[in-house]
Structure 1
Amino acid sequence: MSRTRPSRIRRHTPLGRRGRSAAIAGAATLALALTACSGGSGSGSADMGADKNAKISVNLQGDKAKPGQPVKVTLAEDGKLADVTVTDNKGGKLAGKISGDGKSWTSDRAASPGTKYTVEAKDDQSRTAKQEFTTEAAGQVNKVTLAPGNKTTVGVAQPLSIVFDNPVKNKKDVEKHLKVTTSNGTEGSWGWIKDYSGKDRVDWRPKEYWKPGTDVKLAADLNGVNSGDGGGWFVRDYDTEFTIGKNQSVKVNLESKHLTLLQDGKEIKSVAMSAGTPGGEKASWGGVNVLMAKEGTIRMNSETVGLGDSYDKMVDYSMRLTWSGMYAHAAPWNASYFGNTNHSSGCVGMSDADAKWLYDTVQVGDPFVTEGSGHKGNADVGNGYGEWNLSWDQWQAKSALKGNTE
């Protein structure tokens, strides 16, 4: 859109115009300056000096505008809006739509805190206007941690997980701004839970395990969303994408004391192991636990998980299954129990060779399914990725939009 250069046009303001303009500015209305059409390279025509104005108003104004609401531009007299552009000082742009009658334009998203915006409008008579406003800064900012990592390949049980730094009271509003797209239209749902850390968390789980090869993308358009009392504002968007790898799972049989890897439902290999000692806190967690991370060689100290001074040692091929400390790993010190007795402090231990094989084969996001008697029940849903221990109806009920979550 071209503008007439000020050096080529002389504008004449009738008597009293300055006072009238001040009144208009005070009422948050804008004068749309008539765009001149110049014939030839000489000075502008007489019509170009005429005072012919249109008026628009913007709902947000000044240097302390309230964030969290859409920007609305309204044409205050005859004519229709032809184009409206709202840009921010960070290089972003608010998309929006002109109403059916052409009288107003509303942004699709809300204005973000602590941001300067420039509004430029054009009507159907080629008249233009420009206005700026700045929103109040956020008193408190909320941030998120996403899992899995961006552009990673994960197993069929891996949920999309978002942990919030601060509490989220406005769960419905936040969930509305979270969009998951998949390459094959996978059905799934968000569910709000309390993370093991005590923080608010929302996961997106498919109805059934993912299909291998599925591409998954998250667009968390949270910039300008208020998470509620005690949580603060989001001041940026987030996105991530990942791909589903091989269809494989691990079965931990507490009766046979063997661990079995399956790919596409077929048994690949079974190895002897020893799981948690039944009958107390040292028992293993049952149900479905998802491989969260392959941590390699780590120090395991029983005092950090509430088991006193039971152990303190370096452990190889460590594969985390819960936040509370259940792992599958090498446990050569327990070799006499492999295949015959569950006698560990809750983890699934095996020989160095078998642990190395499993560590090299499994993917983060693979389900580990613990079956048989002697476990201590299912871990809390936030103690790792425990959503697969809930029915589909139970999981959907945890959505702020589908269920009863406040």
Structure 2
Amino acid sequence: MSRTRVLAHARLRTAVLAALLAPLAACSSSTSPGTSDAKGTPGAADRPVTVTVTPTGDRVPAGKPVRVTAAGGSLTAVTVTDGKNRRLAGKVAADGRSWVSDRKAAPGATYAVTAATRTKGGTARTTRAAFTTAPADRVNKVDWRPGTGSTVGVAQPISLAFDHPVRNRAEVEKQLKITTSNGTEGSWGWIRDWSGRDRVDWRPRTYWKPGTKVTLNAELNGTDSGAAGGWFVRDYTSTFTIGSRQIVKVDLDSHQLTLVRDGRTVRRIPVSGGTPGGDKRSWRGTAVLMAKEGTINMNSETVGLADAYNKMVDYSMRLTWSGMYAHAAPWNARYFGNANRSSGCIGMSDANAAWFYGQVRPGDPFEMTGKDTKGVVEPGNGFGAWNLSWAEWRQKSALR
């Protein structure tokens, strides 16, 4: 074959090969930054979303919300659960870039975080993270009233007494939520309990309306008391109902007790109050029946009256922490309706005490009047908040 014919044949093969490859080149394209082709070939827009969880690590400080942020895409959902499968609720921001828990991380807990994301190109992915919080060096506990499921009188406050001092009062009060069936107006007030402990009570502006359903949700888990008070490591809840409108009126000057129910006088009972002129006088103002304690031992040494008495007393109804009761006092029978000769309590006959004990319930107000008394019942001496005006009581809130 001549050289000329070989070159011509090579050119022909090259031309045919180019013709065959031309259609293949037309079916492909390069993906420019930030785009994808019609078949969804990943590009820069489908790079994974960068998710940041705060806090992160082991034994991190508690008492802060959990924060989740996204860069290079958006959050579609976030779930945070602790080791007991309890969720920290929260909401993704409108721009999809962040999520913050409504509650704070509690001490001594392990949290699992699941973040669902979507890239700019529309690809859904899931990111997981976990962290643990340092345990509480001190725990603050709560003693609360009334108990759940109870039916109480129209003057019953919601009362929380704390084992240790509370310095972050505003932060604690923000976590206390009251729900009523009829929108009852009320306010929290911080006081010092008779025991010396910090206490916060919620009372309505006026006596409760009978039949009101009340729920306390104290969402305290993860809240720091401040200073040396320690952490709260659980929530508290109580649901109760307001009973009939019963008011006990005690006139220490006329020595009469009157039970008024729904505006109607049910019975008048002759009584004997505290002895005038000294430490044995009764209190005046509004006290609230705290508990029906039945037959108990009353010892004068516990209330600073030396050896004045030490006896078993029937139908005992506590009115103050300082030791004022309504109860049966048959040893004072000659004074009922005539004179005040008790050691500070409101005494009545066995028969009247038995009847009265069966009629009243915790939360009923005792409105007491008299000229020669110790003074007005203080807010922390039992439930004496009703002796403050509404304006005075509201000023005791840490959020005012």
TM-score (ref. length: structure 1): 0.86
Q: Is the 8 A contact 2:300 2:310 kept in 1?
A: yes
The corresponding residue for 2:399 is 401
- CA distance, structure 1, for counterparts of residue 84 and residue 320 of structure 2: 40
Task: Output the amino acid matched with 1:252.
Answer: V
The Cα of 1:54 is off from its aligned counterpart by 2.5
The Cα of 1:76 is off from its aligned counterpart by 2.0
The Cα of 1:271 is off from its aligned counterpart by 1.1
The corresponding residue for 1:107 is 101
The corresponding residue for 1:302 is 300
The corresponding residue for 1:246 is 244
Residues 250-279 of structure 1 show CA distances to partners (whole Å, capped at 9, x for unaligned) of 111112111110011221100111000011
Residues 338-392 of structure 1 show CA distances to partners (whole Å, capped at 9, x for unaligned) of 1111011000000000000100000110001111212111122101000000000
The corresponding residue for 1:27 is none
SS of equivalent to 2:159? strand
Question: For 1:9-20, what aligned pairs fall within 5 Å after superposition?
Answer: none
- CA distance, structure 1, for counterparts of residue 92 and residue 147 of structure 2: 38
Q: Identify the match of residue 284 of structure 2 among 279, 283, 286.
A: 286
Which 10-residue stretch deviates more, 213-222 or 366-375?
A: 366-375
The corresponding residue for 1:315 is 313
1:226 aligns with 2:224: yes
Question: For 1:320-399, what aligned pairs fall within 5 Å after superposition?
Answer: 320-399=318-397
Q: Identify the match of residue 62 of structure 2 among 67, 71, 75.
A: 67
SS of equivalent to 1:53? coil
Q: Identify the match of residue 55 of structure 1 among 38, 50, 53.
A: 50
SS of equivalent to 1:94? coil
- CA distance, structure 1, for counterparts of residue 59 and residue 326 of structure 2: 55
- CA distance, structure 2, for counterparts of residue 174 and residue 227 of structure 1: 7
- CA distance, structure 1, for counterparts of residue 383 and residue 376 of structure 2: 11
Structure 2, unmatched stretches of 5+, are 1-40
The corresponding residue for 1:76 is 71
1:192 aligns with 2:194: no
The corresponding residue for 1:26 is none
The Cα of 1:52 is off from its aligned counterpart by 4.7
Q: Identify the match of residue 212 of structure 1 among 207, 210, 213.
A: 210
- CA distance, structure 1, for counterparts of residue 369 and residue 59 of structure 2: 60
The Cα of 1:59 is off from its aligned counterpart by 1.4
Q: Is the 8 A contact 2:152 2:364 kept in 1?
A: yes
- CA distance, structure 2, for counterparts of residue 87 and residue 338 of structure 1: 63
- CA distance, structure 1, for counterparts of residue 214 and residue 305 of structure 2: 39
- CA distance, structure 2, for counterparts of residue 278 and residue 321 of structure 1: 19
- CA distance, structure 2, for counterparts of residue 156 and residue 54 of structure 1: 57
- CA distance, structure 2, for counterparts of residue 379 and residue 326 of structure 1: 10
Residues 37-71 of structure 1 show CA distances to partners (whole Å, capped at 9, x for unaligned) of xxxxxxxxx98xxx953311111111122211111
SS of equivalent to 2:361? coil
Q: Identify the match of residue 154 of structure 2 among 147, 153, 156.
A: 156
- CA distance, structure 2, for counterparts of residue 91 and residue 81 of structure 1: 22
Residues 198-237 of structure 1 show CA distances to partners (whole Å, capped at 9, x for unaligned) of 1000000000000000000001111111010111111111
The Cα of 1:180 is off from its aligned counterpart by 0.2
Q: Would you say how many aligned residue pairs link Structure 1 and Structure 2? A: 354
SS of equivalent to 1:64? strand
1:272 aligns with 2:266: no
- CA distance, structure 2, for counterparts of residue 367 and residue 380 of structure 1: 14
Residues 13-42 of structure 1 show CA distances to partners (whole Å, capped at 9, x for unaligned) of xxxxxxxxxxxxxxxxxxxxxxxxxxxxxx
Which 10-residue stretch deviates more, 370-379 or 207-216?
A: 370-379
Task: Output the amino acid matched with 1:84.
Answer: V
The Cα of 1:154 is off from its aligned counterpart by 0.3
Residues 123-152 of structure 1 show CA distances to partners (whole Å, capped at 9, x for unaligned) of 122111111100111111111011011110
Task: Output the amino acid matched with 2:396.
Answer: K
Q: Identify the match of residue 141 of structure 2 among 129, 140, 143.
A: 143
The corresponding residue for 1:23 is none
- CA distance, structure 2, for counterparts of residue 271 and residue 206 of structure 1: 29
- CA distance, structure 2, for counterparts of residue 266 and residue 280 of structure 1: 35
Seq. identity, %: 61
Task: Output the amino acid matched with 1:90.
Answer: K
- CA distance, structure 1, for counterparts of residue 152 and residue 171 of structure 2: 29
SS of equivalent to 1:73? strand
Q: Is the 8 A contact 2:246 2:259 kept in 1?
A: yes
Task: Output the amino acid matched with 2:173.
Answer: E
Q: Is the 8 A contact 2:49 2:74 kept in 1?
A: no
Task: Output the amino acid matched with 1:113.
Answer: P
Q: Identify the match of residue 116 of structure 2 among 122, 137, 144.
A: 122
Task: Output the amino acid matched with 1:173.
Answer: E
Which 10-residue stretch deviates more, 150-159 or 264-273?
A: 264-273
- CA distance, structure 2, for counterparts of residue 197 and residue 166 of structure 1: 12
The corresponding residue for 1:236 is 234
- CA distance, structure 2, for counterparts of residue 255 and residue 59 of structure 1: 66
SS of equivalent to 1:173? helix
